[in-house]
């Protein structure tokens, strides 16, 4: 009697991040920390989404540096390019090519309803370009090229995944089975980190107030200083609640970093003032981010080694992307 060995194929996950400035503590706790953890469970494809960055005007030298920096930071965080695929979006031309194909199968009304277009148009009124309007189609191409089963999304990205699913379903119905319809992946852990100066807003690297956000690569002194200046309230009681957005935000951060429960944090700082708590949060964040900064400082020094890795990543990505793209082209009727 022969032995039957069952093999289970890992589900595919795709995650992309823009190189638009220094990544923050919010990016780390909300997404990037989970990217690292996902590598054991899933077959992962990670991309630096540099094409998306130019919907806003960029200074060329600064953009180039940010692309390098973001790629190096993903390596420093622990993304393994040997076991998974890590690449720069613009190095795989199928992204832009498939975007045109999908644009011709996307309705103007669908793009008009995208909330981020309205928000970004208001912020960049002097540059409301066609790319800003249609970039959700490029995002759909990013996703659909790699046929992922799951796409990690935050609350502000759900609409983009929904439109990608709608476009894929429409294309498949018109031309036959080409694209996998991806589902949203909600990580088991992940914190929504708010601004340190206005806890009603999400922490963002685009905030003009530098004290409102912590960069992953900030120095220990800067991190502790920013937390000491964090907005709280006058009650001086470490207690979680909707009426205490500032202190609740700090508790969320401390919980995500230390893995202590909110109840345990309240007990730990019972009878203590906000000064003690802010210092504890700042030090725990600085200690957690320090190894990442150390690794990053080494990686970014060696541009040749980085070049080898991102070229290898592009080759791996394009091998998959090209098959999907040419299948779509053939289904539409192009001569290949």
Q: In the CATH scheme, what is the code of domain 210-298?
A: 1.10.240.10
Residues in the chain: 336
Q: In the CATH scheme, what is the code of domain 12-191+303-332?
A: 3.40.50.620
In this model, does residue 106 exceed pLDDT 50?
yes
Q: What is the pLDDT of residue 91?
A: 98
Hey, is 166 helix, strand or coil? helix
Q: What is the pLDDT of residue 55?
A: 86
Place of tokens 């004290």: 211
182: left (phi > 0), else alpha (psi -120 to 50), else beta? beta
- Which among 86, 88, 79 is positioned nearest to 46, based on CA atoms? 86
Q: Which of 12, 120, 226, 278 is catalytic?
A: 120
Is residue 203 a contact partner of residue 193, using CB atoms and an 8 Å limit? Answer: yes
**Paired tokens of 43:** 């077959």
280: left (phi > 0), else alpha (psi -120 to 50), else beta? alpha
Whether residue 202 lies in the annotated active site: yes
**Whole-number average pLDDT of the chain:** 92
Domain assignments of the chain as residue spans, ordered by start:
12-191+303-332, 210-298
Model pTM greater than 0.85? yes
Q: Phi, psi (5° rounding) for residue 323?
A: -65, -45
- Give the model's confidence band at 1: pLDDT under 50 very low, under 70 low, under 90 confident, else very high: very low
Hey, is 334 helix, strand or coil? coil
The whole-angstrom separation of Cα 228 and Cα 214 is 12
What average pLDDT does the segment 275-290 reach? 96
Q: Which of 33, 202, 226, 244 is catalytic?
A: 202
pLDDT tens, residue by residue, 215-238: 999 999 999 999 999 999 988 899
Q: What is the pLDDT of residue 208?
A: 85
Q: Which residue has the higher pLDDT, 180 or 187?
A: 180
The whole-angstrom separation of Cα 214 and Cα 250 is 12
* The Cα angle at residue 335 between residues 334 and 336, in degrees rounded to 5: 110
12-191+303-332 and 210-298 agree in CATH topology: no
Percentage of the chain with pLDDT > 90?
79
Least confident of 184-188, 194-198, 262-266: 184-188
Q: Which of 11, 205, 220, 316 is catalytic?
A: 205
- Give the model's confidence band at 155: pLDDT under 50 very low, under 70 low, under 90 confident, else very high: low
């Amino acid at each position: 009697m022969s032995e039957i060995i069952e093999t289970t194929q890992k589900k595919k996950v795709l995650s992309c991040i823009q190189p638009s400035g220094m990544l923050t503590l919010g990016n780390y706790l909300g997404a990037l920390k989970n990217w690292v953890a996902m590598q054991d469970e899933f077959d992962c494809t990670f991309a630096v989404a540099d094409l998306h960055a130019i919907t806003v005007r960029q200074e060329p030298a600064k953009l180039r540096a940010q692309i390098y920096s973001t790629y190096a930071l993903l390596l420093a965080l622990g993304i393994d390019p040997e076991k998974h695929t890590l690449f720069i979006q613009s190095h795989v031309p199928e992204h832009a090519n498939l975007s045109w194909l999908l644009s011709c199968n996307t309705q103007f009304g669908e793009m008009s309803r995208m909330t981020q277009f309205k928000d970004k148009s208001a912020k960049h009124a002097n540059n409301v370009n066609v790319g800003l309007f249609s970039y959700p189609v490029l995002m759909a191409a990013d996703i659909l090229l790699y046929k992922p089963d799951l796409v990690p999304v935050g609350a502000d990205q759900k609409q983009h995944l929904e439109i990608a699913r709608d476009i894929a379903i429409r294309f498949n119905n018109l031309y036959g089975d080409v694209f996998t319809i991806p589902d949203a992946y909600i990580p088991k852990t992940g914190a929504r980190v708010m601004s340190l100066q206005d806890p009603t807003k999400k922490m963002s690297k685009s905030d003009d107030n530098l004290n409102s956000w912590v960069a992953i690569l900030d120095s220990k002194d800067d991190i502790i200083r920013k937390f000491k200046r964090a907005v709280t309230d006058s009650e001086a009681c470490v207690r979680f609640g909707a009426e205490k957005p500032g202190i609740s935000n700090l508790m969320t951060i401390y919980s995500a970093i230390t893995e202590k429960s909110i109840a345990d944090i309240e007990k730990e700082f019972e009878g203590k003032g906000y000064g003690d708590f802010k210092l504890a949060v700042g030090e725990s964040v600085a200690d957690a981010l320090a190894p990442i900064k150390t690794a990053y400082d080494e990686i970014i020094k060696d541009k040749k080694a980085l070049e080898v890795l991102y070229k290898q990543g592009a080759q791996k990505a394009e091998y998959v992307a090209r098959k999907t793209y040419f299948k779509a082209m053939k289904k539409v009727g192009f001569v290949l």
